[in-house]
Amino acid sequence: MVLAAGLGTRMRPLTNDRPKALVEVAGATLIDHMLGRLADAGVETAVVNVHAFADRLEAHLKTRAGAPAIVISDERGELLETGGGLRKARPLLGEDPVFVANIDSVWTEDGAPAIDSLARAWDPERMDVCLLLARLDRTLGFDGAGDFFMAEDGALTFRGAASSAPYAYMGVHICRPDIVDDGPDGAFSLATIWRELAPRGRVHGVVMDGFWMHVGDPGARDEAEAKLAEARGK
């Protein structure tokens, strides 16, 4: 599932006439960057939720050729956040584990492909969620103090009251889709569920080898373009 229903308020004025998913970085829209990564990982079908400028986003997605095939989860009536969006899409997702991806992340691959590493780390016997993480010194556009500590077995602990943590969630994870079945009606965040699962050791992570760029505002978009141009020039 690709989470593309956000309002993109921090990205204005670039989102005055389009959804954040259609903001371009280095010649490709954010959603095409993500769909391309998922296609490279072998994903055949992607559920995409839509809200702001939904007609424009759907029209763009219809122009895409090749994998993944696109299925729309329509959130025009109500913006549901990450958890509510996943819950609304449940009939489209089935019961098997799914990738869930934000559209404001781009990255370089410096070793093992990031999504492949995530898939290899997935173990449903030990975890309900597995998050793809970035080291803070290999990020651009992320202004937080880190999100997680990681145990030797990959189990994650939220930063909590600590001044910093070494890893940031970079916007892609695998989960059992039924973790949202008991969530509240309407809008809610997936992080709420993760905070319930983490003390039980059911939230794990894997650290990506590449360099992550969080494209959250126009300045971050420009920085990401420069970083991608530098990487391609090597």
Q: Which pTM value belongs to this model?
A: 0.93
Q: Which CATH superfamily is domain 2-233 in?
A: Spore Coat Polysaccharide Biosynthesis Protein SpsA; Chain A (3.90.550.10)
CA 111 to chain centre: 20
Tokens (6 digits) for 112: 């093992």
- Sequence-distant (6+) residues with CB within 8 A of 102 are 3, 34, 171, 172
The domain segmentation of the chain, as residue ranges, is 2-233
Q: Is the pLDDT of residue 234 over 70?
A: no
pLDDT tens column, 157-200: 999 999 999 999 999 999 999 999 988 889 999 999 999 999 99
SS3 call for 229: helix
Residue 113 has a pLDDT of 93
CA 132 to chain centre: 9
Residue 112 has a pLDDT of 85
pLDDT tens column, 114-161: 999 999 999 999 999 999 999 999 999 998 899 999 999 999 999 999
Alpha carbon distance 183, 181 (integer Å)? 6
